[in-house]
Structure 1
Amino acid sequence: MELEALKSNAISNLNSLMKNEPNISTGLAAIKTLLKTLEISKATTAIELDAELDAVVSAMESTDHSSTSIRSASNLFRKFISLAPADLIDQPDFVNILNFYNNRGRIFIERVARSRDLIGKFSRPFFAHSTRLLTHSYSKVVLSVLRKAQESGVDLEVFVTESQPNASGKKMHEELTKMGINSTLVLDSAVGYLMERMDAVIVGAEGVMETGGIINKIGTLSIAICAKMMNKPVYVMAESIKFVKEYPLNQSDIPEEFKYRTSVRAGRKDLSSEHPEVDYTPPSFITLLFTDLGILTPAAVGEELIKLYT
């Protein structure tokens, strides 16, 4: 299939998944789109297939969905499927290799689909009755974790920031209320006032960096700093497909494609006056990360990334 047609199909498939499967993560939608590409690929060599996958990833990153999640999930998916035995790689018939990649891709997706259940299992002992939690923005994995805790009989009290400028916290508050979880929507500016009453901060992440820090909705850093000053733990809930091979040391090190939507960056050279959508929270402000790989300290993330890519 022509690359332009592949790119168009990829964008259509990604948008359809995000629209029709409300609980799907951006990363999982991205790798399902890559698997779809493998299933329809007519490539006859590894070089042709790499060109097709490159085009699809580029197309997905051109949408307004999280570039951080798309990049990390796509890179890990491609690494996983490429771990083929040498005798298979040497075969002249590329169809056999494509079939192998397809099978590996399905295995990878099955593993990713279990991620939230595992995160919920690992985090459950950290939540007791009447635990007061502060969360920021809208996170599907945090929702899943809180749902699991509720289903196990734990009564939680959750405070949700409005998460301006797009007020994504309002959606989080509405979902928690529908689930029957005691939820209060609060102003972003009220974080300092409320923090002394909280037992912990719980947030998701668009990307977990090699440093052990995270890229997440703008305002996460401010909340983490406040929590650190008041000796409150900050827990991050994130699937391992969000692990990114990036090593930012400060806010200016965040790639522009992570900070701004594609529609915002299009045709603009100067973004200095544009409001970034995410910030970088360094590992020093994070207590633990709950992932499908287990409970990690920020310092352990780099080692896990090495394992994922080798």
Structure 2
Amino acid sequence: MPNFGQTDINAQGIFTKLLTSDSDKSTGLAAIETLMEVLKTSDANTLSELTHKLDDAVGAMLKTDYSSASLQSASELFLRFISLISKEALLVDPDFEHVKQEYIKRGNIFIERIRKSRQIIASCFRPFIRSNLKILTHSFSKVVLESLLEAKSRGCNFHVFTTESQPDRSGRKMYEVLQKHEIQSTLVLDSAVGYLMEQIDFVVFGAEGVMETGGIINKIGTLGVAICAKAMNKPVYVMAESIKFVKEYPLNQSDIPDKFKYRYSTLQTNKDELKNEHPLTDYTPPQYLNLLITDLGIFTPAAVGDELIKLYT
């Protein structure tokens, strides 16, 4: 049996370096680029061995404190996409190196498509935003930020209310970037959402993962904001790249895998005392969401399951 330990170490290092060196890079894209590097540099001699190395690389990346929902979904979709050619290619040409080159070729196609995801989502978002709107967002989302910046560049003047988003105050980061780009914005307490909601035109979230149910996993507090918006008849939109579509079907909060709710380091050190740990994410069911804006198009939550089937077949 080959020793894959070195692949684990290299994959984790590459993945971490990609994210720390580029603050705009998404966790999912960094995971895919890491797998691509493992693929290119692998000394595997068979398809089975190569598959093991790639799977081990995914396992190594999951042993970090980055979003495991985004990481898992992106990795699964990437590996599924590149391996769709394996049976056909082996029948035509059984030479492993040629198959590996096909994997690399398809991998490059996949990466180029994903790199354009945020631009496509921003384009899809254009009909929803105009001047004088009041928008509420929760936490920090790179895809939401890019869409708002794109709207600002087109001359739209709107006001963004962003929650402080405790316990890590990630909403403050969103607020500071919006201020830097001269977008009218206000930082509000998480507990002020109910008071504020009657003024809001719509709510927009990012997502760490889009579930097969059409619901989302996102920063803790997302569910509360969505419930409040639903009660006051305010539309809730979610922006998410298609690599965040996850093959999970949670029905309630307890169905969310622990790896989606807690950091890897927390699970390793306090796995027997999780009841005392603050979860980082919650699950927002599809009935509280109006539309999902993705690089594949705009969907109702009910349509997500169909799109997942297309992605995985």
Q: Shorter-chain TM-score: which interval?
A: over 0.9
The equivalent residue for 2:22 is 21
Report the RMSD for the aligned CA atoms in angstroms: 1.0
Distance 2:96 2:168 in 1: 47
Secondary structure of 1:196's counterpart equals helix
Distance 1:99 1:131 in 2: 50
Q: How many residues align?
A: 310
The equivalent residue for 1:34 is 35
Distance 2:273 2:193 in 1: 32
Amino acid across the alignment from 1:40: T
Deviation at 1:8?
Answer: 0.9
Q: Is 1:309 paired with 2:312?
A: yes
The equivalent residue for 1:63 is 64
Deviation at 1:92?
Answer: 3.2
Distance 2:64 2:48 in 1: 25
Amino acid across the alignment from 2:170: S
Q: For 1:279-294, what aligned pairs fall within 5 Å after superposition?
A: 279-294=282-297
Distance 2:191 2:162 in 1: 12
Deviation at 1:156?
Answer: 1.3
Q: Is 1:8 paired with 2:2?
A: no
- Aligned match for 2:151, one of 149, 152, 156: 149
Q: Is 1:272 paired with 2:275?
A: yes
The equivalent residue for 1:230 is 232
The equivalent residue for 1:296 is 299
Distance 2:273 2:308 in 1: 33
The equivalent residue for 2:118 is 116
- Aligned match for 2:255, one of 248, 253, 256: 253
> Tell me, which stretches of 5 or more residues in structure 1 are unaligned?
none
Q: For 1:178-193, what aligned pairs fall within 5 Å after superposition?
A: 178-193=180-195
After superposition, give the CA deviation of every residue in 1:180-232 in whole Å (9 maximum; x if it has no partner): 11111000000000000000001100000000000000000000000000000
Q: Is 1:89 paired with 2:116?
A: no
After superposition, give the CA deviation of every residue in 1:53-97 in whole Å (9 maximum; x if it has no partner): 111000001100000000000000001001116442233321111
What is the TM-score when the length of structure 2 is the normalising length? 0.97
Amino acid across the alignment from 2:53: E
Distance 2:86 2:65 in 1: 37
CA contact (8 A) 2:175 2:186 kept: yes
CA contact (8 A) 2:86 2:99 kept: no
After superposition, give the CA deviation of every residue in 1:25-62 in whole Å (9 maximum; x if it has no partner): 00000000000000001112121111101110000011
Deviation at 1:99?
Answer: 0.5
Distance 2:234 2:278 in 1: 28
Distance 2:111 2:275 in 1: 38
Secondary structure of 1:128's counterpart equals coil
Percent identity reads: 58
Secondary structure of 1:27's counterpart equals helix
Secondary structure of 1:244's counterpart equals coil
After superposition, give the CA deviation of every residue in 1:138-183 in whole Å (9 maximum; x if it has no partner): 1000001101111111111000100000000010101111111111
Distance 1:149 1:49 in 2: 44
